[in-house]
Amino acid sequence: MSAPATTAVSVARPRRPARRGRIGFWVGLVWLSVLALGAIFADVIPGLPGPSEIFGPIGSQPDLSIGGLLGTDMIGRSNLSRILHGARISLVLAVCATAIALAIGVTIGMLGGYYRGWLEGIANFAATSLAAVPPLLLLLAIVAAIGASLFGITVALGLVMTNTYIRLTIGAVISNANREYVLAAKALGSGGPTVMVREILPNLIGVLGAMIPITMSIVIVAEGSLSFLGYGIPAPTPSWGGMIAAGADVIRKLPIVIMAPVATLFLTVYSFNALGRYLGARTDIRDTQL
């Protein structure tokens, strides 16, 4: 800390976080859209070789052909093709695992937050138990037992991420449960399930929505970590983590092999985080001035 101690501490005024993250939000949205379109149409893009096809010389620099746009890897396969096919795994996994976490977490969280009592105890207990094991360790243990399949890894990742949603939902439901609109719905004769689904759930969209992109980025990183360690979706299916692990072995001679997947992963995680941050700032009502 070398700043001069001459100026006084200024009183921080609440900034407008929504405006601050807007550029990141749009950059993220554009990148993710391009990536998703690329992943969907990877098989039909003209000039793009298959992910396992030997396309050119090993470790060649990027050129202007479609297949060579990001260079080739250490056995001459197209990096772009492998990245787009790897994106299928990453994105499908991100969506499915997040959906699992959301479905289980919100159900348990709503029951616990609305009825309180022993249901809340069970919900908290489930969240604590899931949080108490380091996520990567839990994933590895599950994969060791049931083997590395897309289905197994998706379910395992979904479970690992559930505790966040349980906690978030309990808190949000409790703070909503005594609001006037809930009282009104009850006075009109609505039962518990109706109030929860029709009245409270729509008011949770802001809180949960901001968490969804964050969860997706965590899931993508977790799948990458598993693949990096050699426990991901088995070869020959290309995955970003696997590409990075392979590229790390040849980083001195062929740095291009690792650069493409690293840049892709970085941009993707950054984009999801920027989305989450922007949505979080927009729905965070603490800083709103009346």
Partner 1 sequence: MLLIARAVGWRILVAIPVILVVTLGVAALTDLMPGSPGLAILGENATPERVAEINARYGYDRPVFERYVEWLGGVFRGDFGTTLFGNVPISDVLFKRLGVTLQLAAFGIVGALVIAVPFALIASSRPGGIVDRVMDSVTSAIIAIPTFVMVVLMSLVFVVWLGAFPATGWVPFTEDPLMNLRFVALPALTLALNECAYFYRVLLADMQSTLREDFVLVARTKGLPRKYILWRHALRPSLSSLVTVLGLTVGRLLGGAAIVEFFFGVPGLGAEAINAVSIKDMAMVQAIVLLCVVVYVLVFILVDLAYAWIDPRVSVR
Residue ranges that bind partner 1, judged by CB under 8 A: 1, 3, 5-13, 15, 24, 125, 128-129, 131-138, 140-147, 217, 221, 224-225, 228-231, 241, 244-245, 247-248, 251-252, 258, 262, 265-267, 269-270, 273-274
3-state secondary structure of 146: helix
- Rank residues 4 and 189 by Cβ distance to partner 1 and give the closer one: 4
- Rank residues 182 and 220 by Cβ distance to partner 1 and give the closer one: 220
How is residue 122 written in tokens? 């069970």
Rounded least distance, CB 123 to partner 1, Å: 13
Rounded least distance, CB 48 to partner 1, Å: 25
Rounded least distance, CB 30 to partner 1, Å: 16
Rounded least distance, CB 198 to partner 1, Å: 34
Residue 78 phi/psi, 5-degree rounding, is -70, 125
Residue 168 phi/psi, 5-degree rounding, is -60, -45
Rounded least distance, CB 25 to partner 1, Å: 12
- Rank residues 48 and 108 by Cβ distance to partner 1 and give the closer one: 108
Rounded least distance, CB 26 to partner 1, Å: 15
Contact predicate 155/219, CB 8 Å: no
- Rank residues 54 and 235 by Cβ distance to partner 1 and give the closer one: 235
Contact predicate 105/166, CB 8 Å: yes
- Rank residues 6 and 178 by Cβ distance to partner 1 and give the closer one: 6
Q: Which of 120, 201, 132, 200 is nearest to 167 (CA)?
A: 120
Gap between the Cα atoms of 123 and 129, Å rounded: 10
Residue 77 phi/psi, 5-degree rounding, is -85, 155
- Rank residues 134 and 192 by Cβ distance to partner 1 and give the closer one: 134
Q: Find the helix packing angle between 201-229 and 79-115, rounded to 10°.
A: 140
**Start-to-end C-alpha separation, the chain:** 37
